[in-house]
Amino acid sequence: MDVISKLQVLSDASQYDLACACGTGNSDRRHRGSDGAWLYPVSLPRGGFSVMLKTLMSNVCVNDCKYCPYRNTVDLPRCTIGPDEMARLFMQYVYQKKVFGLFLSSGVVKSPDFTMQLLNDTARILRKKYEYRGHIHLKVIPGASEGAIEDALGLANAVSLNIETPGKKHCDTLSSRKDYHRDIIRPLQFINEMTSRKPKFRMIRKTTQFIVGASDETDAEVVRYTAGLYSRLKLNRVYFSAYQRGLGDKSIPGELRVTRAREDNFLREHRLYQTDFLLRSYGFKTDDFVFDKQGNLALDKDPKLVWAMSHPEFFPVNINRADLMALVRVPGIGPLTARRIIERRRESKFSNTDALPFKGKRLQMAREFISL
């Protein structure tokens, strides 16, 4: 294969790793470049979007992760792009002003540290040979040594190590080669230690991802682990990827569970993103979420509405007197709208709901939970 053909194969393979910002609207979805590579929109710290080239360095993998279409037991074309090739290829995109950054991941070639050397050497060539000062997001390979991780932290603006499952039991269900605590949890802890202790690493963004539905994990387990990743390991973002039936080994729970429709798994992913947003921006705690007897979230209602319907004693919330944290508990009112309400009522109290700074379905939803 020539390098462009490799890039087309490897950027396709990278679509299953969501641990960088990806849009959901028509204006910020991923799209293919003229050479077939995937270009991903990412949100910028000061607002707006820019574009990142996202690819694997290799789809060769020694691991047997049973949810992964590129696991070592699957017979498919394999290829690898070396550090010099990858750096040169990426800089062509930079010179053409097609991208602002690079998200670089890989299958596990030979060993975690051998693979980390491929990733780190690519970033090193970009930084030193090409004097590239833009955004680089490096994947930390499960099982990588502390030395390899610290090397990556010295080269990247962002790193991610995918946790994949909430706990060792589910990890063991999906892989016989990974040790959950040694290969995943301990490296995540080390990343937190380095970014907390060393000033030069403090601005590095840290993310992870769960595969949802490959094992038989419950939503309650995922939400509890998500909260812990934020509170104890200080991650910036947790992502969720719905397992797509047919990609994995036929023996895993996600293939055996035929009672759930394919679209339900994507709706489940959506509900988990809503709980994640409530944890990060609304002051929710794990005990605030309502789960069914099986430990799962309702699919037909968003988790904030379910909480409101379960706590009638909290409502109605007085729009003219409630503080920020009470306002954001109202269905239809988010942090931005709550701040606008507080700003406007400093000038004059609201006398009717039509004067509120939001309209449409959101206002219709909020009306039954507020008073003036």
Q: What domains are defined for the chain?
A: 3-254 (3.20.20.70), 311-371 (1.10.150.320)
CA distance 344 to 319: 11
Q: Identify the burial level of 299 via C-beta atoms within 10 angstroms of its C-beta, where 0-12 means exposed, 13-18 middle and 19 or more buried.
A: middle
Mean of per-residue pLDDT scores for the chain: 89
Token pair in block for residue 213: 């539905």
| Averaged pLDDT, 111-117 | 98
pTM of the full structure? 0.89
pLDDT computed for residue 21 by the predictor: 46
Position 98, amino acid = K
pLDDT at 196: 96
Q: Residue 285: its pLDDT value, please?
A: 96
Query: What are 307-352's pLDDT values in tens digits?
Result: 999 999 999 999 999 999 999 999 999 999 999 999 999 999 999 9
DSSP 8-state assignment for residue 274: H
153: tokens are: 């932290």
What gap in Å lies between CA 177 and CA 27, rounded to an integer?
A: 40
Q: What is the 3-state secondary structure (H, E, C) of 122-154?
A: HHHHHHHCCCCCCEEEEECCCCCCHHHHHHHHC
How far is the C-alpha of 10 from the C-alpha of 146, rounded, in Å?
A: 27
Residue 39 has φ and ψ, to the nearest 5°, of -115, 125
Q: Binning pLDDT at 50, 70 and 90, where does residue 20 land?
A: low
Identify the residue with better confidence: 121 or 47. Answer: 121
Residue 370 is classified by DSSP as: E
CB neighbour list of residue 115: distance below 8 Å, 6 or more residues apart? 57, 58, 106, 107, 108, 109, 141, 144
Q: In sequence order, what are the beta bridge partners of 39?
A: 31, 53
How far, CA to CA in Å, does 231 sit from each of 90, 277, 359?
Answer: 35, 14, 34
In the structure, what pLDDT confidence band is assigned to residue 100 with cuts at 50, 70 and 90? confident
What angle is formed at CA 362 by the lines to CA 357 and CA 367, rounded to 5 degrees? 85
Q: Which of 33-42, 53-62, 143-152, 247-256 has the lowest mean pLDDT?
A: 33-42
CA-based torsion, 363, 364, 367, 369: positive or negative: negative
* Weakest-pLDDT range from 23-32, 57-66, 84-93: 23-32
- Res 367: pLDDT: 93
User: Would you place residue 8 in the very low, low, confident or very high pLDDT band (cuts 50, 70, 90)?
Assistant: confident
pLDDT at 175: 95
Strands 205-212 vs 237-242: parallel, antiparallel or unpaired:
parallel
pLDDT band, very low/low/confident/very high, at 23 (cuts 50, 70, 90) = very low
Per-residue pLDDT for 46 more than 60?
no
- Residue 107, amino acid: G
Query: What confidence category does residue 368 fall into, taking pLDDT thresholds of 50, 70 and 90?
Result: very high
Say if residues 206 and 191 touch (Cβ distance below 8 Å). yes
pLDDT band at 54 (very low <50, low <70, confident <90, very high): confident
